[in-house]
Structures are given as structure tokens and as C-alpha cells.
Structure 1
Amino acid sequence: MSGGIIILMSIALAGASYGIGVLPLSVTFSKSTLGALTALGTGLLLGAGLGIIIPEGVETLASAYAGSDFPTSTISIALLLGFTFMLGVEQFTSSHSHSPLITPSITLEMNHSKELPSLPDVEFDAELDDLEDQATHSSRHSIEAQSDIQKVAVPLTLGLFIHGLADGLALGVSSLSDSSSGGLSDLSLVVFLALLIHKAPTTLAFTMSLLSTSLSRSQCKRHLALFSASTPIGAISSYFLLSIFGAGGGGKLTGFALLVSGGSFLYVATVLQPVSDHSHPTSSGGLGRKARALVVIIGVFIPFAIAFTFDHAHHVHLESPNIISSH
């Protein structure tokens, strides 16, 4: 049953990502709208990682190691692997490293010569300010340079595709951790919603970035479709691969995988989408620092609130037959 649920969630996530991504083809988004979505996505990832995924992973590992020493080292190495894996993905799919203090963006940088442009500087969560600067910058170049930029759209999409696969790990493992119940768990629901909102500004910015190049709209849609499929592919693949290795319904492997995905969430929420950005007062996509901080804080507590409500309703449902029978 859980296998069917992860497939349905993956299809919904792919459809939503693509649907949101094609909106810039006909709709113009304001800085404040994109900035608010980015801030909310940051809070959701942080809240899902710290408040849901990591505690669930620790609890799962602790139960698996019952009767022996608490698995402190295992917890540590899992979190570190998740964090450093995303660090490696972000750095090695970029043409050069960037300062963590810069607001994350998707940028396509072009040389002023007639040579082929350098590989795109792939950062995974976009801000509208950077996209507008990019469009202005690219418009100053020759028609030949605009044609050459098509050749660097592939590495850009590839980097984002790998990033999406890593996001899918969290969804796949969260569904696997409660596979014994055969239903939708609060963990998988929270992770699904967090990824859905997190991907909205990234997908919008990705499409707007492609549109600022010489790519046609049909080509932009093909790149968008590939990026939209990345997280579902990662989710379904991780779910069934871990199932083959016997990770269903809890256990050491499930707990370890949960912590790895939790570590990757922390990297995305704190490095790729910085909680604080001190570069300039309006660097948050048209939001002030205080407004952005408020939106992030709200997002942080939404996963916990969803999990608490879902868990409370589940317990009430389980207890209701006993209450009826007692009368």
C-alpha cells in the first residue's frame, strides 16, 4: 500500500512542479511573492529536518539498538554524510565555488569574449533580484553569445536534477519508515508538503532563468520537465531500493537513511537558502529582513503543527472504538 502512496505523491509532486514552472511563460511574479515563497520554503525545510525527520531517525535508531549503547556515533556520521553530500553536489556541479553569504540563485554567467560561456554557476534556490540582473546582463551580449548560452543550459539542468534526486531521498525514506502501517504517515505528509512549497520558488526561478537566455519556450519546457521529474525519481528509487535491502517498517537502515536525509535538509535550509542574509536590506526578494525572518519562523513551526495534528487525529481514531464499546 505504501508503495502506491509514494508513487501517487511523486506524481503529484512532479505535476505541481511542472505546473508551477510553466507559469512564468504567461504570468509575471513580483519580488515580494517569490521572496515570501522562498522564505517559507526555507522555514519548512528547517522545521521538517530539525523537528520531524531527525527526531524520527534518532528514535528509529534508538529502538533498533535497544539493549545496547545509544548509537551516538551512528547518528553523527549519518547527519554528517547528508550534509556533506549536499555540499559536494552543490560545489561539484558548479563551475566555481561561491561565498555562503551570497543569496542563493540560479545564474548563467557569460564571458565577454566570443568563446563558449563558462559552465553555469548552479545554486539551487533562486531570488528574483538575481534573475533580473542576469537578464539585463545577458541582453548586452551579441546574438552569437545568446546562441552559445543554450550549450550551458544542460549542465545547469543536470546540477538541479542531481539536487532534486537528493530531495527525493527524504520523501522515499519517510514513506518507508512507516510502511508497516500501510497508510500515509505524518512524517511522509510533512516531508511532501515541505518539498512542494520549497520547490515552488526554485522551479519558478529556474524557468525564468532559462527564459532570459535564447532557449525557445519548448526547450525551456523540456528542461523544466526533466527537473520536475528529479525528486519523484529519487523518491521512488530510494523507496524501492531500500525496501529490497529490508529497510521497511523501521530498523537501523531506515533510521540511518532518515538522518542522512535530515542532514541534507539542513544544508539546503541553512546554506543554499540562508536563514539570514545580510548582503543588503532588500536581498530577500523584496521582503525586509524582519518580514523574511517572520515568514521563516512561521514555516519552521508548520511541519510540527501538521505532525501534531495528524498524530492527534490518528490517536483519537484508534481510541474511539474503545470509547464506544465501553458504553
Structure 2
Amino acid sequence: MNDTTIVLTVVLATFLSALGMGCLPLWRKLSDELSMLRWMTGLAAGFLLASAILIAIPEGFMIYDEGGGVDFDAIPASGLAVLLGFLLLLVFEAFGFGHDIHEEHHEHAHEHGHGHVNHPSGVATSAVVGLTIHAAADGLAIGAALAADELHITLPILLGVLMHKLPAAFSLGAFSQHERNDRKRSLIDILVFSAATPLFIIITWSLLGDVSEAWIGLAILFSAGSFLYVATVDVLPEVHRHGSAKDVCLKVMLGALAIIAVMLFMDVVGLVEHAH
């Protein structure tokens, strides 16, 4: 497949998977899927951590160095990119556009059999905006990986994004339906969220197509920072709320091991270039 076909395939996969998962709670009870949702969330933490630490950070540094770097006198641009990726999501959450705004509804619905939690007006819109910002950051990560034109970088990052995006889409669908009590408006919320990642994949891939490798490396490192934020600040605390330390450890380790298994498989079949 040529590059455009690969990008379009990834775009369709991210859009359809999020749309399908987001629509599930519009027709099914949330309590029926909570166990699966929590397992996926725990695995997502491991996926994101492993993707950031084993793929995005080392490969991002390597690509950045091969591209000749970017001139900054006092601050290493590569490290700054990771930090900015982390801090940007922190700033968005500080202004109320977070990733966990809907979690109390899940907990209440599970414990009491209904989702009647009083939220301030406009909270559904804030939830959509917050999750859409996260989805856009995911699109940047995948787009940067595609721009690097290395399957062994793209595939683990794509898997990490999907494992995180699917429970997020389900959560958004459930929360929007509860808050709006209007299936059509909830479907619009899900469509907006689902379209954010594909849109930013295309934008990032297009913008990075004619730049030096150094900038592609910085984009990947920026994405690594956002992955670390989502995994450690958003996902792991949520997993801890609903399971014992051993349970959390198991889920996160299984997620990380899954990424390692993918890396080993790609190495065995010759998809990893050991010398850049």
C-alpha cells in the first residue's frame, strides 16, 4: 500500500472504532459493560506507558538527532517537547476541559442502578470539548508517527491510542445520553469526538510531510508527553479507584506486555530497522 492508502486506512479505523464504541451506550445499559470498560481502561494505561517510554521517546530522540536538531541555546528542544506535551493537557484540565469529568456518573450508575447525578448546566459540552482535545492529541501522535514512515513506530502508537480511545468513546456516549437525554444530540457529541483524531491525523501528516526529520521527532516527543500525562494523571487514578493494587498492577502490566509483544513480533518479521 502507498502512504496515502495507509493514512486513509488508519483514519477510517480510528473514526469507525470510536463511533461504534460511542454509540453502544445509546442503546445498551451502562452497567452491562462496566467490567469490560474498566479492564480496557487498565490495559490502556499499560499501552500508553509502554508506547511512550519504549517507542515514542527513544524513536523521537533518534529521529530528532538524525534531523540535525533545532537551535535552542539554553533548553534542549527534545526534552522541552516532551514537557510541553505533558503540560498542555494539564493546562486544559485546569480550565475545566478534562478527561474525567464523567466518572462520578459511572460510579453512581453502577452502585445505585441509575445515573441521576446533578451536574451544572453545560457540563456535557465541557466533557465533549475535553475529550475531543484529548482525541486531537491522539491524532497528532498518530499523524507524527505516520510522517516518520516507520511501521514499528506507527503500529504501537496506534494500538495505544485505540485502547485508550475506545473506553473514552463509550464513556462519552453514556455521559452525553444521561446529561442531554436526547439521542440525536448525543450522536452529534460522539461524531465530533470520533472525527477529532482522524482530522488531526490528516492535518499533522500533511504538515510534517515537507519538514525536516527534526520537527517530526519533536512532534513524536510532544505526543510522548501527552501519552505520559493521560496514562499517569487520567487513566491510572481512575483504575485505582475501582480495583486493588494487585488488580491495577495486573491490568497495566498486561497492557505493557502487549506492546512489548507487538515490538518483538515486528522485530522477528523484519519490520524494525535497527540502523537508521
Q: How does 1:173-322 map to 2 (within 5 A)?
A: 173-178=144-149, 185-244=151-210, 246-247=211-212, 251-274=213-236, 283-284=241-242, 287-314=243-270
Query: Taking structure 1 as reference, are residues 277 and 106 closer, same or farther at Cα in structure 2, changes over 3 Å only?
Result: same
- Which residue pairs with 1:129 in the alignment? 107
2:125 paired residue among 149, 154, 157:
154
- 1:105 and 2:100 equivalent? yes
Task: Tell me how far 1:105 sits from its aligned partner.
Answer: 2.6
Distance 2:51 2:68 in 1: 24
Which of structures 1 and 2 has the bigger CA Rg?
A: 1
Q: Deviations over 1:190-212 (max 9, x none)?
A: 11111111111111111111121
Aligned to 2:139: 168
Equivalent of 1:50 in 49, 53, 57: 53
What letter corresponds to residue 93 of structure 2 in structure 1? Answer: E
Task: Rate the CA distance shift 1:174–1:11 in 2: closer, same or farther, 3 A.
Answer: same
Q: Give the corresponding residue for 2:77.
A: 74
Let me know the Cα RMSD of the aligned residues: 2.9
8 Å CA contact 1:21–1:203 kept in 2: the answer is: yes
Identity %: 29
In 1: Cα distance, 2:141 partner to 2:117 partner: 37
**Which of the two has greater helix per residue?**
2
- Confirm or deny: 8 A CA contact 2:173 2:190 kept in the other structure: yes
TM-score, normalised to structure 2, is 0.85
Stretches of structure 2 that go unaligned for 5 or more consecutive residues are none
CA change 1:252–1:214 in 2 (3 A) is closer
1:310/1:297 CA distance change after superposition, 3 Å: same
Unaligned 5+ runs, structure 1:
98-103, 108-124, 139-144, 179-183, 317-327
Q: Residue type matched to 2:23 in 1?
A: V
Deviation track 1:192-247 (CA, whole Å, cap 9, x = no partner) reads 11111111111111111112124311111111011011111111111101214x24
- Measured in 1, the distance between the counterparts of 2:252 and 2:5 equals 33
The CA deviation string for residues 90-120 of structure 1, in whole angstroms up to 9 with x for no partner, is 22244xx9xxxxxx6333xxxxxxxxxxxxx
Secondary structure at the counterpart of residue 270 of structure 2: helix
Residues 271 and 126 of structure 1: CA distance in aligned 2, closer, same or farther (over 3 Å): farther
Matched, 1:36 2:16: no
Q: SS at 1:311's partner residue?
A: helix
How many angstroms apart in 2 are the aligned matches of 1:126 and 1:16?
Answer: 25
Once the 2 structures are TM-superposed, how far is the Cα of residue 77 of structure 1 from its aligned partner? 0.9
Aligned length: 265
Tell whether the 8 Å contact from 1:35 to 1:128 is kept in structure 2 after alignment.
no
Q: 1:54 to 1:131 in 2, by over 3 A?
A: farther
CA distance in 1, matches of 2:238, 2:131: 23
